[in-house]
Amino acid sequence: MTVWRKRARTLTFAAFALGSASLASAQSTNALPDLTTSEAAFDPGKAAGLPDAAKAAVAQAIAKMKSGELLGFVLAASPDLKIWTLNSAPRTMADYVPSDAGRQALEVCEFEARQSCAILSVNGFQARRNAPGSAPPPEMLFSRPSDFDATVLPFIAASTREQAAAYQKAQGPRAFALTTNGLWLWRGGANIVQAIDKTMADCAAEFKPAPCLLYAVNDRVVFEAR
């Protein structure tokens, strides 16, 4: 799945002591968005406030939908439309689940915007986000002190979360990193510092240019979304 987003983030992680005060760590609420659309086509050129890069990405996705290159795409944006995320699935993606793609798009957008986002378009049609009586956009990320749980990893497709469960079963010093593109890895080390250094170095090397986010150290989640 291809993930476009308005901007990349570079995060600096302060030193911390395991076993000290509780950390406000972020995980996915696993809320699945309403992807209901109207019959009206979504015209990115008429979306006032949507950045030109977003308009171009949507126009390209619509063209690829028409040519059969994509199975589908979901566009999410912040209330002011300045922050946006577009998830698209190629025709060869066998495990594509539209609602899960919507979840990922909203999680990335919420992380970037630091507030809840909404679905604007699904497969080139207008989302019913402004329909009378419609529910407000769900909160996609929540923060609470927590141990690592692969089933609530943010940004990652549900179909690949199970593979990350091996981290929970591993022993010894280790660290887990992920990207908002849905990529992840973990590494062990002789001590915590070595595990973190190895994890972040390998993540940066393998997933460049996507910025790597330190998500967990040993059993504890340390990633903060807001």
For 110, residues 6+ apart whose C-beta sits below 8 A from its C-beta are 116, 117, 139, 140, 141, 225
For 129, residues 6+ apart whose C-beta sits below 8 A from its C-beta are 118, 119, 120, 137
Please give the pLDDT value at position 6.
37
Would you say 224 and 22 are in contact if contact means Cβ atoms under 8 Å apart? Answer: no
**Domain ranges, ordered by start, for the chain:** 8-27+142-221, 37-127
Q: What is the side-by-side order of every strand in the sheet holding 174-178?
A: 184-188, 174-178, 213-217, 220-221
Please give the pLDDT value at position 153.
96
Would you say 192 and 217 are in contact if contact means Cβ atoms under 8 Å apart? Answer: yes
Give me the tens of pLDDT residue by residue for the chain, a chain 226 residues long: 444 443 333 233 333 334 333 345 689 999 999 999 999 999 999 999 999 999 999 999 999 999 999 999 999 999 999 999 999 999 999 889 999 999 999 999 999 999 999 999 999 999 986 555 566 778 899 888 889 999 999 999 999 999 999 999 999 999 999 999 999 999 999 999 999 999 999 999 999 999 999 999 999 999 987 6
Q: What is the DSSP letter of 191?
A: S
Please give the pLDDT value at position 9.
32
Please give the pLDDT value at position 140.
94
Please give the pLDDT value at position 13.
34
**No. of H helices and E strands in the chain?**
5, 12
